[in-house]
Amino acid sequence: MTEEDDIDNAITAIRRNRVALKGNIETSHTMPPSHKSRNNLLRTSLDLYANVIHCQSLPGVQTRHRDIDIMIIRENTEGEYSSLEHESVPGVVESLKIITKSNSLRIADYAFRLAREKGRKRVTAVHKANIMKLGDGLFLQCCKEVASGYPDIVFDSMIVDNTTMQLVSKPQQFDVMVMPNLYGNVVSNVCAGLVGGPGLVPGANLGRDYAVFETATRNTGKSIANKNTANPTAMLLASCMMLDHLQLHDYAALIRSAILRTMNETRMHTADIGGQGTTSEVVQSIMRLMQGASLRSAAAF
């Protein structure tokens, strides 16, 4: 079975089940130009247009900044990830960034609907329209157009380079952020670092018909494979997001509560957040807390 068969089978399974929990698939920069990112192929094939990441400070995790609570909405199907590159003449490469009105309006509307649903007060559009006046200018104009239909939510915008500086200086100023594809990749990694790193933050890729859940920063973690040192928190929280999506809220709450209680125990911290705990120890602790909660619930009846 080829790699193409593997990803085709995965896409077929997701179309059948409409939901998936996914690990990251490495996309190496050493591959030939004809090689298409399997992660990108999955997102575009299923039209998973919204990448949603919730970066928030976690109990027991020591970081430079506290009280961070940011929702990042990233357009997931176009922009610099359109895989349209060519060498026009030797030594000159053109890489096309695609921004469309329909997809920009769609992601902006999703961001504002989510903000209203979650009781959020502000949406910030991240852009570089001062330089890319047509592409990012269109994206920004679409955000402004959608914002006019949500008078209860404050709308502002920020240039992407200033955004990264503001994030590491005063992240608490941000609430909901919406942006094109590449900026979303950069901003989500910065935000994950602010709250403790890639092992802590879950993410969702959502479309009209399908939903795929994974770790937010899409790190492969190859350097720590098979060492029992990886932090399982991000993937477990992604599982909770999937359960919530499936309306299995009680199960999601049970697992999430056990995860957060485990995070409060410093001895259970893995190396990425300054501890010496192993992957197995963290998972076993979470399972014990879940079993204890289940027994208490049963006894109550």
pLDDT (0 to 100) of residue 225 = 86
What are the C-alpha distances in Å from 280 to residues 141, 187, 227, 252, 285? 49, 31, 10, 20, 9
As to burial, measured by CB atoms within 10 angstroms (0-12 exposed, 13-18 middle, 19+ buried), residue 90 is exposed
pLDDT (0 to 100) of residue 35 = 67
Listed in sequence order, the DSSP H helices in the chain are: 3-17, 38-45, 101-117, 135-147, 160-169, 181-194, 233-245, 249-263, 279-300
Rounded Cα distance, 128 and 212, in Å: 29
As to burial, measured by CB atoms within 10 angstroms (0-12 exposed, 13-18 middle, 19+ buried), residue 29 is exposed
CB atoms within 10 A of CB 101: 12
The distance between the two most distant Cα atoms of the chain, rounded to a whole number of Å, is: 75
pLDDT (0 to 100) of residue 221 = 74
pLDDT (0 to 100) of residue 6 = 87
pTM > 0.85: yes or no: yes
Retrieve residue 271's tokens. Answer: 């190396």
Retrieve residue 281's tokens. Answer: 């120890």
Residues 55, 194 contacting (CB under 8 angstroms): yes
pLDDT (0 to 100) of residue 83 = 84
pLDDT (0 to 100) of residue 55 = 96
Rounded Cα distance, 139 and 235, in Å: 31
CB atoms within 10 A of CB 12: 10
Give the pLDDT of the chain (301 residues) as one tens digit per residue: 666 778 899 999 999 999 999 988 877 666 666 667 788 889 999 999 999 999 999 988 999 999 999 999 999 999 998 888 899 999 999 999 999 999 999 999 999 999 999 999 999 999 999 999 999 999 999 999 999 999 999 999 999 999 999 999 999 999 999 999 999 999 999 999 999 999 999 999 999 999 999 999 877 778 888 899 999 999 999 999 999 999 999 999 999 999 999 998 888 899 999 999 999 999 999 999 999 887 666 555 5
